[in-house]
Structure 1
Amino acid sequence: MKHTEVDILAFGAHPDDVEIGVGGVLAKHSQAGFVTAICNLTEAELSSNGTVETRRKEASRAAEILGVKELINLKLPDRSIRNVPHQVERLTQMIRRYRPKVVLAPYFEDRHPDHVTCSQMVDEAVFDAAIRKQRTSGGEAAHRVKHVFYYFINDIKPADLIIDISDVYEQKTKAILAYETQFKREAGEVETPLNGSTYLSMMRGRDQLWGNQIQAVYGEGLKTRKPLTSSFLV
Structure 2
Amino acid sequence: MKSARILAIGAHADDVEIGMGGSISKWTDEGATVIICDLTEAELSSNGTVQQRKKEAKKAAAILGVKERISLSIPDRGLYLQESFIKEVTAVIRTYQPQIVFAPYHLDRHPDHGNCSRLVEEAFFNAGIRHYQTEGALDAFKPERLFYYMINGFHQPDFVIDITAYMEKKIAGLHAYESQFTIGEHGVTTPLTDGYIEAVSARERLFGKEVGVRYAEGFKTKKPLLLRNLIGEST
Q: TM-score range by the shorter chain?
A: over 0.9
Give the stretch that moved more between structures: 81-90 or 14-23: 81-90
Q: Distance in 2 between matches of 1:60 and 1:201?
A: 22
Encode CA deviations 1:114-172: one digit per residue, 9 max, x unaligned: 00000000000000000011111111111111111100000111100100001111111
Cα distance, 1:201 vs structure 2: 1.6
Q: TM-score, normalised by structure 2?
A: 0.95
Aligned partners of 1:97 and 1:140 also within 8 Å: yes
Partner of 2:211: 214
Q: Distance in 2 between matches of 1:6 and 1:53?
A: 31
Partner of 2:223: 226
Aligned sequence identity (%): 47
Q: Distance in 2 between matches of 1:7 and 1:212?
A: 29
SS of corresponding position for 1:194: helix
Partner of 1:192: 190
Partner of 1:129: 127
Q: Distance in 2 between matches of 1:177 and 1:85?
A: 35
Partner of 2:85: 87
Partner of 1:100: 98
Q: Distance in 1 between matches of 2:170 and 2:201?
A: 10
Aligned partners of 2:171 and 2:197 also within 8 Å: no
SS of corresponding position for 1:155: coil
SS of corresponding position for 2:45: coil
Q: Post-superposition, which runs of at least 4 consecutive aligned residues in structure 1 deviate over 3 A?
A: none
Q: 1:165 to 1:156 in 2, by over 3 A?
A: same
Q: TM-score, normalised by structure 1?
A: 0.96
Give the stretch that moved more between structures: 90-99 or 223-232: 223-232
Does structure 1 residue 10 correspond to structure 2 residue 8?
yes
Aligned residue-pair number: 229
Q: Distance in 2 between matches of 1:143 and 1:130?
A: 5
1:31 pairs with one of 29, 32, 36: 29
1:161 pairs with one of 155, 159, 166: 159
SS of corresponding position for 2:80: coil
Q: Distance in 1 between matches of 2:4 and 2:219?
A: 20
SS of corresponding position for 1:78: coil
Q: Distance in 2 between matches of 1:101 and 1:216?
A: 27
Runs of at least 5 residues in structure 1 that lack an aligned partner in the other structure: none
Cα distance, 1:81 vs structure 2: 1.5
**Cα RMSD after superposing both structures:** 1.1
Give the stretch that moved more between structures: 119-128 or 187-196: 187-196
Matches within 5 A, 1:11-90: 11-90=9-88
